[in-house]
Chains A and B, each alone.
Chain A
């Protein structure tokens, strides 16, 4: 079939089909991104809310990777029009070069974005009960008997059933018994419990014989003897039996209830259903000999009692009994479950100070009273250094601005209440705060601080936070605060557009030769349309970069 208006424009609009189509698509894109930009504006304005608000993390992202990505996108926007111009001039070699560069730019952009995301996903944040925010990296659970402070070797760490190290952010229970919900149990967690029990040479066995009537009205028989070891297969088998019994029992009860209604209708022929509903009930005799035994739960004992650990968000901990989200009940005493930072790399008192100001309290005094400064001498030392540096800054600003006759500039809220990892590094290297940019290595601009490099200088202190001080903890993911939520949403959506654009442009580059030879003008039109999309992707980034990285 001949497609009309691919090269010659339609008479009424003066446009080719593809051009109209791409602009309609871009119009819909404007509305899509417009919605998210509006959301950004309202989230940001709303962050100043006196009750639900929090200090908007200005310039929380590293500028250099964002800046390089901006340059990359601009450069690729230029080369994509060059590629189009080369096609118009029928220069296939030049087209390939320019288009190849454009696609390469897209790949580099995505690579940098991937690094940026990865750093965020591995960076831990914690808000304590008093509102102080601690950032850094968690340590890993070590085997029993390993010195917690000594240099750890790979074999000193506990591994989970996936063979990965476990971060020291677990709820610990000295478990004596476990009761699983046979239909709701989460396989992965059961495997993990078995692995951990194995570490402690502890066995998880069925607490008592499981006796079930397997056929309607049959006598109960032992399906599993007491002492059967826990496994997902055992639970799955019981779940099967339970579901069968439940289905049978539901049918039997429905049948009995139907009978009861029939009798009621005969007894009270003139009454409405709602008037007799109270009098209708199942006759127990109807059920006799027809039911099977249901087994909704299965109780196991842990022998000898073992320390089991659970993710903080997966468990509702109690002093003697805890419950997992899959309805597994854990009997046993709750042990100390601290969150252990292997390296604290930032202290942020902005939230605490904001709340203090709202309550009419002196923010500085409240910061001094915070749990973290009271309990960590190393962090207290860093905070004292920071205060000294801010005092120096205040002095300098006073002089600078008075000399020039400008209105006085105070240290900003962020400068005053946030101590960044660059400050930690500057202090460790004995340099003033103003030279902190100079202490960062190039790699660290992209990847964040290198803890191994800086371990010798004790740049980043360790910290153990008791569970009752933890108000909220998260990696730097959308869960941490609305800024990261909107950051990941918009940049993620934008990243998908970059992938889509690169695929389309790559298709023209690698599969376009045939069309170039048969109908070069058509290919030129296609490249123009693909280029329009690519420019739009660039256009969105032109706003994203200042909004997310600079402001």
Chain B
């Protein structure tokens, strides 16, 4: 990357801002999980709070990937390599689901 000094100085400000957002996001996640007044499901800690917590985590992860790892302006080849790997992850997870739902295993688990 042929970044000029001005651009880099500008970038460091962005990095600092993203860092603060990450800190705030972390505190928010802990509060969603522990504080009663931030209770989403209305029944204490439950699936709703899980989903909210994981959504915050996803936003944080996207920020790290987009800004810190420069994925917001990257070459095409890298998008193919990186996001291509997720296809395999979901495929493998789906295979696990097949195994999980398979009636073959019932004979071991449901005696």
Contacts and interface: CB of A to CB of B under 8 A. Distances in A.
Interface of A: 13-15, 19-20, 23-24, 26-28, 30-31, 34-35, 38-39, 41-42, 45-46, 49, 51-52, 58-59, 63, 67, 70-71, 74-75, 77-78, 81-82, 85, 88-89, 401, 406-407, 409-412, 415, 531-532, 535-536, 538-539, 542-543, 545-547, 550-551
A551 B82 CA distance: 28
B104 interface: no
Contacts of A551: 33, 45, 49-50, 53
Contacts of B12: 81-82, 85
Interface of B: 3, 5, 8-9, 11-12, 15-16, 18-19, 22-23, 26, 29-30, 33-34, 39, 42-45, 49-50, 53-54, 56-57, 60-61, 64-65, 68-69, 75, 77-78, 81-82, 84-86, 88-89, 92-93, 96-97, 100, 109-111
Contacts of A78: 15-16, 18-19, 68
A26 B23 contact: no
25 contacts: A13-B77, A14-B75, A15-B75, A20-B81, A23-B82, A30-B82, A30-B85, A31-B89, A34-B88, A35-B92, A42-B100, A51-B109, A59-B33, A59-B45, A77-B19, A77-B22, A77-B64, A81-B15, A85-B9, A89-B5, A411-B44, A545-B26, A546-B54, A550-B33, A550-B34
Nearest to B67: A81
A546 B33 contact: yes
A406 B85 CA distance: 44
A412 B34 CA distance: 13
A78 B67 CA distance: 10
A409 B42 CA distance: 6
Contacts of A27: 81-82, 84-85
B44 A409 contact: yes
B55 to A, nearest CB: 10
B89 A34 contact: yes
B15 A34 contact: no
A35 B91 CA distance: 10
Given A74-B26, A82-B12, A543 B44 contact: no
Contacts of B29: 545-546, 550
Contact of A535 (B26, B68, B96): B68
A58 B43 CA distance: 15
Contacts of A545: 26, 29, 57
A27 B71 CA distance: 13
Nearest to A39: B96
Contacts of A45: 100
A264 B70 CA distance: 80
A278 to B, nearest CB: 38
A109 B84 CA distance: 31
Contacts of B100: 42, 45-46
A52 B109 contact: yes
B19 A75 contact: yes
B19 A34 contact: no
A550 B92 contact: no
A545 B69 CA distance: 20
B30 A550 contact: yes
A88 B89 contact: no
B78 A15 contact: yes
A85 B78 contact: no
